[in-house]
Structure 1
Amino acid sequence: MVNISSCECMPWYVGVFRIRQRLTEEHWFDANCKYYTHVFDKTIISQVLGAIKYLSTIPKYEKCAKWLNENKQNLSQYFLEGFKSSKPLEVLIHGDCWTNNLLFKYNSKNTPVDLRLVDLQVSRLASPGSDINYFVYTSLTGDTRSKYFHDLLEAYYQSFSKVLILSRRKLPFTFKELEDDVERTKIVGLVIGLLAIPGIFFEGEDEIFDFGEMTEENMEEIFH
């Protein structure tokens, strides 16, 4: 997980990254492709069933397990809708913004002073809230997220604004509009957490399926 010191490196770099949308106007691939949605639906439902089974063993999580069970058929659609954007809330997002795609530079005191984002193959124009929720729900502990989330969001917006102002560009949206977008796209954080966290805790390579080996013939076996 990423600590608060590492998070403090992100706003400036991410702010610059967002401005690069001026250099590209390509949107994401067609997420309504039948093959893609079939695979994605199977993946999410499989992970949700595992989460329900686990949550059912924890006191006071009955409500969460019930909600997941009632919405499991629709979560993939909720997730994809979380990436939808409409101007002015449309920026170039990383698309897979979590700790494994962050390279940090440390000083002599082992304090992070800079970073680079890697694996940009799914970068696209989308909602800023989708990338923010993707990061905070995969890469921060619950304590760090609860304690510093608003501060990090403010730092993000300040960085974004500074880069635009220095570029003599008008700010496309207010901080309040960003807050509303983050709230609207929280479902992205929930779903990506369900998808990513099990993989993080795999202990051996044999437990991780190589999706390069997936075919239409073995798809049902994989997701059951």
Structure 2
Amino acid sequence: MAEAQQALEEEEEEEVGGGGGGGEKVVEDSFSAPLGSDLQESTLDARETKSILMESQVRAVLEAEGGKGAVMTSWNVIRQKESSLHFGSIVVKLKIHFLKNNEPLEKTYVLKHNPNFNPAFTAYVTMLFNKEISFYKTLRPLLHREISATSHTQLSIPRCMFTALKEGREIIILEDLNSRGFQNIDRKKGMDVAHASLVMEELARIHASSILLKKRLGPDEMRSQFDFLKRTWWNYMEGAEEMFIINMEGHLDIAASVLQKLGGHEAAANWVTALKPNILQMIQGQTKDNPPFDVLCHADCTISNFLFRYNGDQEVSKVVVLDFQMCLHASLAIDLSSFFFCCLEGPIRRANHKVFLDIYFQAFSRVLRAAGQVIPFSLNDLAEEYKKKILYGAIMAILVVPLLAAEGGEDDEAPSLETIVDDKSFLVQRQDKLRKCLCLNGPLRTRFLDIFRDLIDLGIIQNQLP
């Protein structure tokens, strides 16, 4: 494919994604040659990565960004201070040094690539990269075109500079948003109202843009063009359902044992245990098509997938949405419920969920009205759909919160992917560690228990509060 959308030096452009009408293209590479030894600043990290990243790929990114007059002098890979190992990818910084008009310059990017640690997860990780690369190559530019036509600012999604899809060597190179002032927040703490309000607005804009695209293409063409949205962690290959069930049952066992150990939560523990036989059917039911709420869903609305920028008074002013490895076509309410339960502490969620739904609805409506479209549901309809999809968010939080409790300690409590043989051994390694960490971490233990407090308040779990 041809050049990327525009140069990163256009930092005066306020919106992530830059100007233009969605004509962005992503550079692809043919894996022509490995890194040459003549690059003087190839660090140890870069040499370790050279079996994944090719010199031709680095040069392709530089040409797209700096033009043909840019001459690369070296590149290196920088491990970030925070953990750069995620379950589905390794995330590092790629720094390219080059000359342009005899002036030494450098550019930094975010590089995601396949961990390629263990064959037990090869097919799963390949599916994740396939989805995200397909999103950036085919869907993101069209979504930008739709929202640009409404005179709204472009979506806050990173620009993708390069992709490569070869099994075991999948690569995505994105703009480095840290260089533009965006930063993570502490994912062990829930978001406050100001941060959550920005997320609501941006999710609404993404969802509304996908509705506009579906109206233009038609539902059948939408499904045909973007069939990658149908692939999920329970259907990506033969046997995926069994692996999904094993994984989910392991997390539910952790949750039930924590509830039992803490005492006073027997009804919640029994409810969690009772979920196990039907967990696949429940998740499938929560994510099936449900007009008129069907949209492109992010489907992984955890705190680490949002970056924020602040103004001079340190007030949060902008959000960027990251990581589309789990994206799918489903009810917009699964994004709302997973965000509310995975990113908000219980008191914030309970006190403000109606406010957040209203913020979402107003932002969603503005995009559709600007395109001359009728709003397909009311605010009350949205609130009812959210209630129907609460289980999705609660179950995602049951998975996520124990993992947050286990990460970042002096002794890394999360099992290493290099040591994993299969899903069952992975669960055995981490169950005791996650259980211990969650019981010991006061704030996250409270956030975990608040999941069940909400389910009790809603009558989903029949129990008196302890």
Task: Please state whether the residue corresponding to 1:8 is helix, strand or coil.
Answer: helix
Deviation at 1:223, TM superposition (A): 2.6
One of 215, 227, 230 as aligned partner of 1:28: 230
Q: Which amino acid aligns with 1:141?
A: E
Q: Which amino acid aligns with 1:45?
A: E
Q: Is the CA contact 1:11–1:160 (under 8 Å) kept in the aligned structure 2?
A: no
Distance, in Å, in 2 between the alignment partners of 1:52 and 1:178 is 31
Unaligned runs of 5+ in 1: none
Give the aligned partner of residue 204 of structure 2.
15
Distance, in Å, in 1 between the alignment partners of 2:322 and 2:296 is 14
Q: Which TM-score applies when normalising by structure 1?
A: 0.90
The answer to whether 1:207 aligns with 2:381 is: no
One of 246, 252, 256 as aligned partner of 1:48: 252
Distance, in Å, in 2 between the alignment partners of 1:14 and 1:133 is 12
Distance, in Å, in 1 between the alignment partners of 2:285 and 2:201 is 27
Aligned residues: 222
One of 125, 131, 136 as aligned partner of 2:329: 125
Distance, in Å, in 1 between the alignment partners of 2:262 and 2:393 is 21
Q: Is the CA contact 2:369–2:375 (under 8 Å) kept in the aligned structure 1?
A: yes
Instruction: For residues 103-135 of structure 1, give each alpha carbon's deviation from its aligned partner in whole angstroms, at most 9, with x where no partner exists.
Output: 111111211111110112322221111110110
Distance, in Å, in 1 between the alignment partners of 2:303 and 2:404 is 11
Task: Please state whether the residue corresponding to 1:91 is helix, strand or coil.
Answer: strand
The answer to whether 1:64 aligns with 2:268 is: yes
Which is helix-richer, 1 or 2?
1
Aligned residues: CA RMSD: 2.1
Distance, in Å, in 2 between the alignment partners of 1:58 and 1:67 is 16
Deviation at 1:63, TM superposition (A): 0.8
Q: Is the CA contact 2:247–2:423 (under 8 Å) kept in the aligned structure 1?
A: no
Distance, in Å, in 2 between the alignment partners of 1:2 and 1:10 is 10
| Deviates further, 23-32 or 101-110 | 23-32
| Deviates further, 55-64 or 129-138 | 55-64
Q: Which amino acid aligns with 2:230?
A: W
Distance, in Å, in 2 between the alignment partners of 1:58 and 1:94 is 33
Q: Percent identity?
A: 21
Give the aligned partner of residue 348 of structure 2.
144
The answer to whether 1:4 aligns with 2:193 is: yes
Distance, in Å, in 1 between the alignment partners of 2:209 and 2:416 is 33
Deviation at 1:56, TM superposition (A): 1.1
Q: Which TM-score applies when normalising by structure 2?
A: 0.45
Distance, in Å, in 2 between the alignment partners of 1:109 and 1:163 is 29
Change (3 A) 1:37 1:89: same
Greater relative contact order structure (CA < 8 Å, 6+ sep): 1
Distance, in Å, in 2 between the alignment partners of 1:94 and 1:219 is 24
Give the aligned partner of residue 427 of structure 2.
223
Distance, in Å, in 1 between the alignment partners of 2:425 and 2:345 is 33
Q: Is the CA contact 2:207–2:296 (under 8 Å) kept in the aligned structure 1?
A: yes
Which is strand-richer, 1 or 2?
2
Give the aligned partner of residue 45 of structure 2.
none
Q: Which amino acid aligns with 1:67?
A: W
Q: Is the CA contact 2:209–2:367 (under 8 Å) kept in the aligned structure 1?
A: no
Give the aligned partner of residue 172 of structure 1.
376
Task: Please state whether the residue corresponding to 2:289 is helix, strand or coil.
Answer: coil
Instruction: For residues 25-58 of structure 1, give each alpha carbon's deviation from its aligned partner in whole angstroms, at most 9, with x where no partner exists.
Output: 3332154454222221111111111111111133
Distance, in Å, in 2 between the alignment partners of 1:210 and 1:62 is 32
Deviation at 1:20, TM superposition (A): 2.6
Distance, in Å, in 2 between the alignment partners of 1:204 and 1:119 is 27
Unaligned runs of 5+ in 2: 1-189, 215-221, 429-466
Task: Please state whether the residue corresponding to 1:114 is helix, strand or coil.
Answer: strand
Q: Which amino acid aligns with 1:180?
A: E
Give the aligned partner of residue 395 of structure 2.
191
| Deviates further, 132-141 or 82-91 | 82-91
Task: Please state whether the residue corresponding to 2:307 is helix, strand or coil.
Answer: strand
Change (3 A) 1:52 1:12: closer
Change (3 A) 1:151 1:214: same
Q: Which amino acid aligns with 1:83?
A: T
Distance, in Å, in 1 between the alignment partners of 2:394 and 2:418 is 25
Task: Please state whether the residue corresponding to 2:277 is helix, strand or coil.
Answer: coil
